[in-house]
Structure 1
Amino acid sequence: MQTLALPIFPAGEFLLQKNRFRFASPIPSTFLCASYSRKVTVDGCGEGDRMCVLGMGFSGRYIGGRLMQEREWNVSGTCRSDAKKKELNKMGIDAFLFDSTKDRLENLKSLKEATHLLLSIPPAEAGNPLFHSLEKLRDFLGNGNLRWMGYLSSTSVYGDCGGALVNEDYPANPMNESSKARLVTEKKWLSLGNQLGVSTYVFRLGGIYGPGRSAIDTLLRKKQLTSYQRMRRLKRFTARIHVADVYEAVKASFDVSKSGTYNIVDDNPASRAEVFAFARNLIEEKWAGQVLIDESREATRLDSASKAQVRKGEKRVSNVCMKTQLGVNLTFPDYKSGLLSILNSYGE
């Protein structure tokens, strides 16, 4: 049997080479920006569009890389560790250490220079710390440079909908503190954009997946599932979106002048069990004997109370507005096309 050595990274891409996996960037190789060259003025500042991403996580990093590669934008962003900062700098992203719970906005020079601002920092239970001084933030951003604001939120703000199909007009009823904080942040973000006279967008994302962060990667890592992962398997519907299509939605909004809130999900709110069964079959067809985790048996360990709890929050999420108003054509309209692309990116 082929032996695969899988290093564990938070959001990496695994490439099979000579019977082993090699870690690569979570952004496909065509979007690596370590040698990216940008226009520079005499004082060292870049020209043109400038995206600042507050919270360079999985999605923020991908979006920034694509903007640099496709549009030659200047991209900056924040992170919370020296290791992450070095990683982002190698990609060509101007990265800054920033903790939204204690650091001062004045330290973020790139924020004041930004023409586009994307917020991707997970909210604290009391709401996003950036908004504790809304007036100060408004004054800091109101210098005339900013033209666009976006916030990566979550479909979790809808709460338990009994499996109903929900669109952006459906009343939000978040069930936990994190989701409640996201809804508060949405409202403040839209209010701030309105005060600044800037086109402002809220993107309610389904579960985000992509290279290094998918059912395929979970199964190949051969780690036992967490209790939370086992619980999620029992959901009938799970909204999800490939990170490449998150980028497509963000990019499309640049050409839409009307501010608004949009669900960013694919066409198939399939269950986690269905997705993992498909991922298992893909792996077995390509690398027989590599999947050791039996997810279906893992789920049986849950007690009846846990199974009842996990059913809460059920909903199917409509993406009609994303398609008709933003004009997004999904690259990966369902989990099958997305997972197949991820598997193929890992080579033979």
Structure 2
Amino acid sequence: MKLFVFGLGYTAGHFVEAYRDHFAEICGTVRSAEKQEALRAAGFQAHRFDAGRGDDGIADELARSDALLVSVPPVAGSDIVLETFSDLITSSSRLRWVGYLSTVGVYGDAGGGWVNEDTPPDPVNDRSRSRVIAERRWLDLGRTSHCSTHLFRLGGIYGPGRNALPRVVQGDARRIIKPGQFFNRIHVADVAQVLMSSIRSPSRNTIYNVVDDEPAPPQDVITYAAKLLGRAPPPEEAFADANLGAMAKSFYGDNKRVLNTRIKRDLGVVLQFPTYRHGLEALLAAGEGAGHSATTPGSAS
């Protein structure tokens, strides 16, 4: 099976590194020449693609692919992969599986209540509204093509090199307190196993929430990371008084708890890291927070 990936960044990079032996060939795109060379040195075919402009070889490689993973977010409200390659993807007679990485942000604000894949999207910012439009277009493509299309709505991704432990060590961690606020998370290794499980058992035009078992207030994660490191946690800051950028502040506008029943029931997934505590403990054991950071193809992005 040949896999093509639009956007070999952090998440997709961990996926291809974990399951590279399951594919006869893996090819993907990055945005810079430096990342392209790093991936080629790691044994992956890589092409440059950015803002709808890409290498000439992308179309040929895509036409020879059996599975397609898309981790490129909308740019200025537009899905640049669909704008550039939708005709080729739709007409492909070989492509059988398409996975689009989206976000639980499409559900918007549920006031801390629970949502699942049947909950209608109700985004609260332009970033998530663009995701909803992209999701609909990918599902429409799946209805008019030979391939099975899958949407993966991801929680906040953490893992090697991207977690609370080094932030606590570096002094960058903050405990922002907004009463009743929940965030949803997922370890990058569990994202990878969900994707592989879907490729093995495709289900046409299906949506999956990819989150762990325990939505939690963000300050709890920082407190636990500090405890593991034997450090005092940073001081609490009231959300109303915290000096946050517009992007960071927007995340607090989505308050919900996301159910992950479908990935377990339909794909048979058993999470390696069912809570942030499991994930942080494993990361600490691997050297995170002590000057060590694991590397993957995606870590160059």
Query: Aligned partner of 1:343: which letter?
Result: L
Q: What residue is the counterpart of 1:296 in the other structure?
A: 236
Letter aligned with residue 85 of structure 1 = Q
Alpha-carbon separation, structure 2, partners of 1:52 and 1:163? 37
Q: How far, CA to CA, are the matches of 2:250 and 2:54 in structure 1? A: 37
Residue 28 of structure 1 corresponds to none
Q: 1:213-255 CA distances to partner (integer Å, 9 max, x unpaired)?
A: 0011222233x45xxx765876721110000000111111123
TM-score with structure 1 setting the length: 0.75
Counterpart CA distance in 2 for 1:53 and 1:157 is 23
Matched residues in 2 for 1:336 and 1:140: separation?
Answer: 40
Is the 1:125–1:177 Cα contact (8 Å) retained in structure 2? no
Alpha-carbon shift at residue 327 of structure 1 (Å)? 1.3
Matching residue within 86, 98, 123 for 2:49: 98
Residues 232 and 310 of structure 1 are in contact (CA less than 8 Å); yes or no, is this contact kept in structure 2?
A: no
Take 1:172 and 1:91, find their aligned partners in 2: how far apart are those partners? 39
CA contact (8 A) 1:138 1:192 kept: no
The Cα shift of 1:301 comes to 4.5
Percent identity between the two aligned chains: 33
Say if 1:295 and 1:94 are closer, same or farther in 2 by CA, change over 3 A. farther
Segments of 5+ residues of structure 2 without an aligned counterpart are 291-301
| Partner deviation per Cα, 1:131-162 (whole Å, 9 max, x = no partner) | 236xx623355232211000010000000111
Deviation digits for residues 324-347 of structure 1 (CA, Å, limit 9, x no counterpart): 112111011000110111111118
Residue 245 of structure 1 is matched in structure 2 by 190
Query: Which of 254, 275, 281 matches 2:199?
Result: 254
- Unmatched tracts of structure 1, length 5 or more: 1-48
1:60, distance to aligned residue in structure 2 (A):
0.7
Deviations 1:78-107 (A, max 9, x none): 111122112212221111111133337764
Measured in 1, the distance between the counterparts of 2:81 and 2:272 equals 33
What do residues 149-208 of structure 1 show as CA deviations (whole Å, max 9, x unaligned)? 000100000001111100011110111111111111111111112211211100000000
Cα deviation, residue 129, structure 1: 2.0
Question: Distance between the aligned counterparts of 2:108 and 2:276, measured in 1?
Answer: 23
Name the CA distance, whole Å, in 1 between partners of 2:145 and 2:55: 20
The separation in 1 between residues aligned to 2:221 and 2:105, in whole angstroms, is: 20
- Does the 8 Å contact 2:178/2:238 carry over to 1? no
Match of 1:37 in 2: none
Deviation at 1:124, TM superposition (A): 2.0
Among 267, 279, 296, which residue is 1:326 paired with? Answer: 267
User: Greater Rg, structure 1 or structure 2?
Assistant: 1
1:277 matched residue in structure 2: 223
Q: 1:152 aligns with which of 79, 84, 101?
A: 101
Higher mean displacement: 147-156 or 102-111? 102-111
1:122, 1:105 → 2: CA distance? 22
**Residue-pair matches, total:** 286
Task: Give the equivalent residue in structure 1 for 2:296.
Answer: none
For residues 337 and 303 of structure 1, what CA distance do their matches in structure 2 show?
A: 31
Give the structure 2 partner of residue 267 of structure 1: 213
- Supply the AA of the counterpart residue of 1:206: G
Asked whether the equivalents of residues 64 and 93 of structure 1 are also in contact (C-alpha less than 8 Å), the reply is no
In the alignment, which of 178, 191, 205 is matched to residue 127 of structure 2? 178
* Alpha-carbon distance between aligned partners in 2 of 1:103 and 1:63, rounded to the nearest angstrom: 23
Deviations along 1:7-54, one digit per CA (max 9) or x if unpaired, are xxxxxxxxxxxxxxxxxxxxxxxxxxxxxxxxxxxxxxxxxx111110
Alpha-carbon distance change, 297 to 246 in structure 1, aligned in 2, over 3 angstroms: same
Q: Is the CA contact 1:241–1:264 (under 8 Å) kept in the aligned structure 2?
A: yes
| Correspondences of 1:121-136 after superposition (within 5 Å) | 121-132=72-83
1:9-158 matches, cutoff 5 A:
49-69=1-21, 71-103=22-54, 107-132=58-83, 137-140=86-89, 142-158=91-107
